[in-house]
Amino acid sequence: MNKLSIVGAGMVGEAAAQIIAREELCRELTLIDVQGELAKGKALDVWQAAVESGSDTRVHGGADAQLLHDSELVVITAGVPRKPGQSRQDVLSINLPIIDGIMRDINQHAPTATVLVVSNPVDVLTYRAWSLSKLGRNKVFGQAGVLDTARMKCFIAEETGFSARDITALVLGGHGDSMVPLMRYCAVSSVPLSHFLSNEQIERIVQRTRQGGGEILGLKKMGSACDAPGVAIAQMVDAIAHWRNSILPTVAILEGEYGRTGIAMGVPCVLAGEGIERVIELSLDAQEQAMFDQSADQVARDIAEMNALVGGGA
């Protein structure tokens, strides 16, 4: 990838930039933020660290939207983070106009760029970004499930004592309390998780995964998670930059998959150079489908709330 831009030079954007630059996932990386001097300073810091790691990625920063020009991929991390006691939906009214402004800039300066939305509430804002773009659903999508899956793998490793390297996990649905961890698809070295853990232990992992972001927020007090989201972003960027055809949980616009249309939901997708190559539709049992429908209904309500805020249109 020649050029990648991150809009939002906060802690998540900076964490992602550090990995992307160090791993040389693009030749040129720009950090863009309304606080231009901050973005320049962080870009210079990231660049110097990357050079010391042997990377030739060039890193720039600033506030000018023209820095988006020629970007092949734009990662949106800008927005107000949650505070303790807030839900992701609580910041919708604040972050919605921010996304609208960023999408106007992208449409003007990088209209063919793939867009990866990270800002919260990510399901709703991914839908909004897609509706404002002139691109297909393969080019506008969100990050949530990669982070949620990482959290669940961490909790499984803690509960079982096994190496996290041997654990596979999968999370679907909205990014929040209604997410759907698919425990039937979780395993340790291909051995089903139910072989090692009781139903009570598994349910404890499910609940902690759903509240994973809130747990960190409550402990840190002064900020939300940043390092793990940065790694999750970099993993998705890596799949795109290297055309890996990786199967990763992705917030995608659904077109009939899982019985849903016109919403953005976390589902397994194949990611490669052109973005989403295809959505993978898993066979869900009755309980899993019911949880998925409940999560989808919540996202649909959130999108309706967003449409009310913007007057019902894009």
pLDDT digit string (tens) for 116-147? Answer: 999 999 999 999 999 999 899 999 999 989 99
pLDDT of residue 61: 98
pLDDT of residue 84: 66
Strands 114-117 and 140-142 come out as parallel
Residue-range domains of the chain with CATH: 3-142 (3.40.50.720), 144-314 (3.90.110.10)
Report the candidate in 186, 177, 233 with the shortest Cα–Cα distance to residue 209. 177
Report the candidate in 25, 28, 22, 65 with the shortest Cα–Cα distance to residue 46. 22
pLDDT of residue 62: 98
Cβ pair 75, 7 in contact under 8 A: yes
pLDDT of residue 92: 87
pLDDT of residue 177: 79
Task: In whole angstroms, give the CA distance from residue 169 to residue 180.
Answer: 11
Provide the angle, in degrees to the nearest 10, between the axes of the packed helices 227-241 and 11-22.
40
Query: Which residues are CB-neighbours of 14 under 8 A, at least 6 positions away?
Result: 31, 42, 46, 226, 230
Task: In whole angstroms, give the CA distance from residue 106 to residue 67.
Answer: 10
From 60, 175, 195, 242, active-site residue: 175
User: Mean pLDDT score of the chain, rounded to an integer?
Assistant: 93
pLDDT of residue 257: 96
Catalytic residue flag (residue 175): yes
Ranges of the chain whose pLDDT falls below 70 = 82, 84-89, 312-314
pLDDT of residue 301: 92
